[in-house]
Amino acid sequence: MRLQSLYRGACLLRNTATLRVQPQQRYLSHGLLQYSREVSQALQNDIPVVALESTIITHGIPFPQNIQMATEVEDVIRNNGAVPATMAIMEGKIQVGLDGDQLESLTKEGTSAVKTSRRDMAWVLSQGFTGGLTVAGTMIAAHKAGIQVFVTGGIGGVHRGAETSLDISADLTELGRTPITVVSSGVKSILDIERTLEYLETEGVCVAAYGPSTHFPSFFTPRSGHHAPHSVNSPAEAARMIYTSLQLQLDSGVLIAVPIPEDDSVSHLEIEQDIQNAIIEAEHKNIKGKEVTPYLLKRVHEMTQGDSLRANMALIRNNADIGSKIAIELAKLQNQSSGHQRPTQQPRSAGSLHPAPSGGEQGRPVVIGGTIVDFTITATDPNLKEDGGSYPGHMRQSFGGVGRNIADGLARLGSNPFFISAIGTDGHAESMLNYCSHMDCSGIAQHETYSTATYCAILRHSGELMYGVGDMEIHSTITPKYIARYEAKLCQAPIVLIDGNIPESSMEYVCNVCDRNQVPVWFDPTDLHKAEKPFHSDAFTKIMYTSPNINELRHMRRGLMGGTGEIETGQTDDLPLNTLLEESVEICRQLIEYIPNILVTLGKHGILLCRNSSQDNPFPYKGKIVPNHSRILKTTTSKCKSEGALTAMYCPAYAQGQQQVPLVSVSGAGDSMVAAIVYSLLRDIPAADCIKYGLLAATLSLQSHHAIIPSMHQKLQEHNIKDMCWRDSHLEI
C-alpha cells in the first residue's frame, strides 16, 4: 500500500513516513471474539491450542490458589509444546487467551464475575459484565475460535436427586451438540455419576476412560464404581479417535475421562461422607441452581481441611499434561492428511463470490500480497495543527494494497493474474470483492476472526502526508501453508510477484518454490520498514526483479549488510537528480550480484534500471530464452552472478513534449508502473519499451483517485510508445 506526500509534479514516490499502529498484547480480530497475541499466532501457524475454562478460577478455587493453579496449568501446556487459551468474558468480548494482567484481574474478581453458560452468554456480553465461562460456555467459545481440545477439572452432570429436581447441567447437552473434545477427571463427584453416563449416552457423546481400563473416575478418586463404554491408552490413540470423529462430522463432542493419579487422590469413603453432609446443608439453606456446585465444592474443601482442594489442583495439572499431548498428536494427524481440513480454522475462499474470468489456467502470472481499504483525509485548512482540535477536510475511501493493485492492473490489461491474499468477512470485505469483480478472487482467503486490512492517511492542505495509521494484522495469515494450496500455480506461472506485506516465512517459501521451478520472482518492498524482509533468510538470492524507491533501496542494502547501520530517510525530491543517480547506482552495485534487475523509482525524476546484463537483453520470464543463456538469467544461488557486469539506464518521468499532468493522487502510481511493465515483458516487448509503458501507466494513475484506473488498457492503447521519445540515458558505470 502506498500513500505518499502529494504535491504537484510528483511521480512514482512512495510513502516514507507512515506510522503503523500495532496492538501490544492483544487485538480484536472479529465480532465478539478477542484473541491474545499468543493464541492468534498459534492458530495462524497451526500450533496446537488447548482451551481452559474460567469458572474454575472465579467460582471453583479461592484466591490466591486460583491464580497459582491457572499459571501452573498454562505452564504445563506450554512446556509440552502447545499454547493455552484461558477463556472468559471481559469488557463485552469473549477473550480467547488471557495475558498476565487479565488473568490476575479475573482471579481477584472471583464470585463477583457472572457464572456464564450457554443461556447467559448473550446477556453477559451485552451488559459488558465479566463472566467466568462454564464447561458449556467454554465449549461454545472454543468451537467458534477454532480450538478443538479443552481441558478442565471435571464437567457438570446430573445432580443427585435430579429425578425430582430435574437439575441437569448444560455441560451434558453441550457435549451432545458441539464437536469439542473435553479432557477431564470425569464428572464432579458431588454429582450422580451413573445417571450422568446414561444421559451422555442419550446425547450421543463418545465417552472414553484414559488408561488401560474402562474404570470411570470419580473426580477426587480414580474409580467411581462405574465404567465408561470405551478406553484409550495413550495420547496418540485418543487423537486417532478424535480425528475420526471430526471426519464423521457428527457435530457432537468427545469426553476423555482421566483418573486422578493415585498419589494425589483422597479416600473415597471419607470424601463421599463429606459430600453427603454438604448436600444436606445445601438443601437446608435452599441453595439451588448454578449456586449449588460452588457451594458444595467450598464446603467439601472446608470439611477435608484442604485435601480436596489440593487434589483438585493436582488433577487439573495432570489433565492439562495429558490434554495438551492429545492436542499435539491430533495436530500431527491433521497436518499429515492433505484431505482433511479443520472446518473451524480453515478460511473460506472468496472465489465462491467471484469466479475466475475465462482463460486458461496455464502460464498465469501469480501475485501474492496485501489487500487494503485505504482512507485518505485531506485537511482544507492550511493552518492545520496537531493540537487536538477539529478541522474541516475531505475523506475519500479507495481500495489498495500493493499486491491487490498490481493484480488489478494486470487484470485490467488482460493478463488474468492469480491473486493470493486475505480479507475479513466484514463490510469492507464485501465492498472490496464487489470492486474486484473483474479479477479472479479465488485465491483470497476470508477469515471470520480478522478484520480486513485498513489504512488511513492524514494529509495537509498541500497534500503532504502528516502520518498514516494502518491495521495490517490479517496479512500474517498469508502463511506458507495457505500459499502451498496453490503451489501448482506458482510452478506454472511465467512470473510470481510478492509484496512486502506477507510474512518473511512466506517470502522464503515462495522464493524456494519458484527457484526450484525456474520461475522468476518480483519483490516489491511496499514500505521501507518491510524492505529488509527477504534478507532475513536467503530469499533475496532467489529474487529476479525488485522495484524499490530510494529509501527502500537503502534499507535493502542494510538488510544485505546484516541489518546494521543508521539510514537517512525522508523526502528525496529536493535532491539533485545526479545525487540520486549516483547513490542508487552505488547501492545497486552491491545488490546486483544477487538481484539481476533493480528498478529504482525516483519520484518526479522517473526511474533508474540497473541490471547485471546488457540493457538490450529482454526481461526474462519462465520459458523465455535470454541471449547467451540456456535458461533465465538466474535460477539458483550458485548462478546468481550470471553475466555480472552492472549496466544502468535512466528514464525521466515524462516523454519529450509530454505535458506534466494535473496531479490528483499518487496512490497506486508505482503499482500501475509495475503492472504495466510485467504485462509488457510477458508480451516480449523490449526492456526499454517495457519501462516506458510503466512510466506512462504511472502518469495515467496520477490523474485519478483510483490506484489503478479502470480504463488502463484502453488508455495505454491510445499511446504508441514507438512515437514517443524519452531521453533515456545509458549511464557510464
Q: In this structure, are strands 465-471 and 19-20 parallel, antiparallel, or unpaired? A: parallel
Distance CA 314, CA 302 (A): 17
Q: Quickly count helices (H) and strands (E) in the chain.
A: 23, 30
Question: Which among 334, 356, 381 is the end of a domain?
Answer: 334
Compute mean pLDDT per 10 residues along the chain, 733 residues long, and list them. Answer: 32 33 34 84 85 91 87 94 95 91 88 92 93 95 93 87 77 94 85 90 95 87 88 95 92 94 71 73 76 72 72 90 96 68 46 38 84 88 80 87 94 92 90 87 89 88 75 93 92 96 95 94 93 94 95 93 73 76 92 95 89 90 58 38 72 69 68 93 91 86 71 68 62 59
Cell of 151: 481441558
Distance CA 352, CA 656 (A): 47
Distance CA 628, CA 721 (A): 28
DSSP state letters, 415-434: ---EEEEEE-SSHHHHHHHH
The answer to whether residue 64 is domain-embedded is: yes
How far CA 415 is from CA of 499, 651, 680, 682, in Å, comes to 18, 25, 10, 9
Tell me the HSE value of 449 on the side-chain side, using a 13 A CA sphere.
29
Question: Which among 293, 315, 334 is the end of a domain?
Answer: 334
pTM: 0.56
Question: C-alpha dihedral over 718, 720, 724, 727, to 10 degrees?
Answer: 110
The DSSP secondary-structure symbol of 444 reads E
The answer to whether residue 724 is domain-embedded is: yes
List the catalytic residue out of 115, 188, 325, 624. Answer: 188
Dihedral sign for Cα 697, 699, 702, 704, please. negative
Strand partners, 131: 89, 114
Helices (H), 419-476: 427-435
Distance CA 391, CA 387 (A): 10
Domain count of the fold of the chain: 2
The answer to whether residue 501 is domain-embedded is: yes
Beta strands in 401-541 (DSSP E): 418-423, 444-446, 453-459, 465-471, 496-499, 521-524
* Residue 603, amino acid: G
Q: Is 188 a catalytic residue?
A: yes
Strand order from edge to edge, sheet including 521-524 = 348-349, 444-446, 418-423, 366-368, 496-499, 521-524, 545-546, 597-601, 607-611, 647-651, 729-731
Cβ atoms 206, 232 nearer than 8 A: no
Cβ atoms 55, 66 nearer than 8 A: no
The pLDDT, as a whole number, for residue 25 is 31
**H or E segment at 74?**
helix 65-79
The answer to whether residue 157 is domain-embedded is: yes
Dihedral sign for Cα 95, 97, 101, 103, please. positive
SS3 154: coil
The answer to whether residue 92 is domain-embedded is: yes
The pLDDT, as a whole number, for residue 3 is 33
Cell of 480: 506458507
Cβ atoms 217, 191 nearer than 8 A: no
Could you tell me which of 257, 364, 346, 266 has the C-alpha nearest to residue 306?
Answer: 266
Could you tell me which of 48, 203, 385 has the C-alpha nearest to residue 38?
Answer: 48
The pLDDT, as a whole number, for residue 639 is 36
Cβ atoms 171, 159 nearer than 8 A: no
- Rg (Cα) of the chain, in Å, rounded? 31
The pLDDT, as a whole number, for residue 274 is 72
The pLDDT, as a whole number, for residue 678 is 96
- Domain containing residue 673: 487-731
The pLDDT, as a whole number, for residue 616 is 87
CATH label of the domain that carries residue 677: 3.40.1190.20
The pLDDT, as a whole number, for residue 665 is 61
Cell of 10: 510528483
The answer to whether residue 344 is domain-embedded is: no
The answer to whether residue 240 is domain-embedded is: yes
Distance CA 357, CA 360 (A): 9
The answer to whether residue 243 is domain-embedded is: yes
Cell of 542: 532467489
Q: In this structure, are strands 465-471 and 254-257 parallel, antiparallel, or unpaired? A: unpaired
Cell of 335: 497436518
Question: Which among 334, 350, 371 is the end of a domain?
Answer: 334
The pLDDT, as a whole number, for residue 4 is 35
CATH label of the domain that carries residue 66: 3.40.1790.10
Q: How far is CA 392 from the centre of its chain?
A: 36
The pLDDT, as a whole number, for residue 182 is 97
